[in-house]
Structure 1
Amino acid sequence: MPEASVSESLSSARERLRAALSAADRPNDAARLLAVSKTKPADMLRQAYMAGQRAFGENYLQEALEKQQALADLDDIEWHFIGALQSNKTRDVAEHFSWVHGVDREKIARRLSEQRPAELGAINVCLQLNVSGESSKSGVELAALPALAESLLSLPNLRLRGLMALPAPSDDPQQQRHAFRQVADALAELQRRFPDAPLDTLSMGMSSDLEAAVVEGATIVRLGTAIFGSRPPFRS
């Protein structure tokens, strides 16, 4: 993809987010774009960076570490790890990422806290809520969410920021909104239970359902295809 295409796509994505926020009667800075760059080469991330993007989301650890090395001269990139995290990968994530979207087990959270280098400060974490009850997806069930959140809030090198969700795909905007509303309601309940916690983040909404997510309060929208184009249908 030519450099101009990345820049233009990013500009279009920003305008789409701005329009969605305006339609929802929310401030222009109420939500930000996370550029999901999995499977895309480092030079495309550099193009997005040159167009002003700073937050990038990666799903595949080894690929992400290679990109971080290739882009080491860009020292103000904010790296987000997205998705299920295995125990044998927590150290690299703790050492090389600012955010983790998708923690759903206390064991993983505890390892991230223990392995986080002190000089980096606390790592930001969003719990993944399995809002659609899909057995094929990771995520904590709604009933178990308060207890898991409480356990994470006690970890010294971890900052619980909010919730992340990947609802079941739907082309119906009302169904999309219903799923996102459940996530927003769950965060509101956590905020009531833990008023002193920095619970300010709803990581939800992608290229196919950004508008519905923004209406229901998303603060981070994860866009990949809209910025970088389509991806291969399968990766082992």
Structure 2
Amino acid sequence: MTDNALPESLASARERLRRALEDAGRSPTSATLLAVSKTKPAEMLREAWQHGQREFGENYLQEALDKQAALEDLDGIVWHFIGPLQSNKTRAVAEQFAWVHSVDRLKIAKRLSEQRPAALPPLNVCLQVNISREATKSGVLPEGTLALAQEIAALPGLALRGLMAIPAPTETLEAQRQPLAALRQLLEELQAALPEAPLDTLSMGMSDDLEAAVLEGATLVRLGTAIFGARG
């Protein structure tokens, strides 16, 4: 990237989100831009922080821990773990992150609950839903979401905040909206069934379907290449 490329692409991503929210008739503060920073060096994250970005999403644990150590002098960074989570990696995630988007089974949630340090606020978790029922994708199936949510909502040390999905790619805005609408409806069902849980989050929308996701109520949109350029 050139010297000005990252601030320009970050500004462009913010403007795209702002326009999408405006077109959807939503408040400009009702969705947050999550910068997906996997494979990008800590120096790029520092530059994004210098231009006001605070929320960063990481997929690979060791890489993320290295960046956290390199950037520990920066105030206000919020770290989101958004990749597949294995049992042997839950402790570091429970200790070092504020959010986990990829919880899809009770075993992982229980380990995060047990390993979350008592001195920290509850760990914000989203259930990953395999909304398009793809054999190659992680996530709880839609019909299993409520039962899993009920079990996780009862665990100490966790705050069940909502749902995350990565729908199968489609070509048109209307086709993109269908699985995202299904995810939104699932969240509404959880809100009705679990009124005590802080269920306010839909983590959905990436570079190819941001506008559709915003139309369907996304509150966290995940952009990587649009901000940082192609993976290195």
TM-score (norm 2): 0.98
Which residue does 1:73 correspond to in 2? 73
> Secondary structure at the residue paired with 1:120?
coil
Write out per-residue CA displacement over residues 80-123 of structure 1, whole angstroms, 9 at most, x where no aligned residue.
00021000000000010000001000000000010001111110
Matched to 2:105, the amino acid is R
Moved more, 168-177 or 30-39: 168-177
Corresponding residue for residue 187 of structure 1: 187
4+ residue runs over 2 A deviation? none
Q: How far apart, in 1, do the equivalents of 2:67 and 2:83 lie?
A: 18
Whether the 8 Å CA contact 1:3–1:44 is kept in 2: the answer is no
Is this contact kept in 2: 1:102–1:126, CA < 8 A?
yes
The answer to whether structure 1 residue 2 and structure 2 residue 2 are counterparts is yes
Which secondary structure state, in structure 2, belongs to the residue aligned with residue 118 of structure 1?
coil
Report the Cα distance in structure 2 between the residues aligned to 1:182 and 1:97, rounded to whole angstroms: 28
Which residue in 1 is equivalent to 2:229? 229
Q: Distance in 2 between matches of 1:103 and 1:171?
A: 28
Alpha-carbon offset, residue 75 of structure 1: 3.2
- 2:157 aligns with 157
**Residue 33 (structure 1) shift:** 0.2
- Amino acid across the alignment from 2:47: Q
Letter in 1 for 2:228: F
Taking the aligned partners of 1:3 and 1:228, their CA distance within structure 2 comes to: 12
Are 1:177 and 2:177 counterparts? yes
Corresponding residue for residue 104 of structure 2: 104
| 1:158-179 C-alpha deviation (Å, 9 max, x unpaired) | 0000000000011221111001
State whether residues 163 and 202 of structure 1, in contact with CA within 8 Å, keep that contact through their aligned partners in structure 2: yes
| One-letter amino acid of the structure 1 residue matched with residue 195 of structure 2 | P
Shift of 1:231: 1.4
Counterparts of 1:169 and 1:89, CA distance in 2: 29
What CA distance in whole angstroms lies between the structure 2 residues aligned with 1:157 and 1:57?
A: 21
Given residue 144 of structure 2, which amino acid in structure 1 is its aligned partner? A
1:139 aligns with 2:139: yes
Contact 1:100 1:124 (8 Å CA) reproduced: yes
Measure the CA separation in 2 of the matches of 1:187 and 1:118.
Answer: 28
Separation of aligned partners in 2, 1:113 and 1:74: 27
What is the Cα-based RMSD across aligned positions, in Å?
0.8
1:3 deviates by: 3.7
Distance 1:101 1:2 in 2: 32
Percent identical residues? 65
Please give the alpha-carbon distance, in whole angstroms, between the structure 2 residues aligned to 1:118 and 1:160. 17
TM-score (norm 1): 0.97
Distance in structure 2 (CA, Å) of the matches to 1:51 and 1:207 = 20
Partner SS, residue 164 of structure 2: strand
Aligned to 1:24: 24
Aligned residue pairs, count: 232
1:51-66 superposed matches below 5 A: 51-66=51-66
C-alpha deviations, 1:53-90, integer Å up to 9, x for none?
00000000000000011111013210000021000000
- Hey, what's the Cα distance between the residues in 2 that align with 1:171 and 1:14? 23
Letter in 1 for 2:79: W
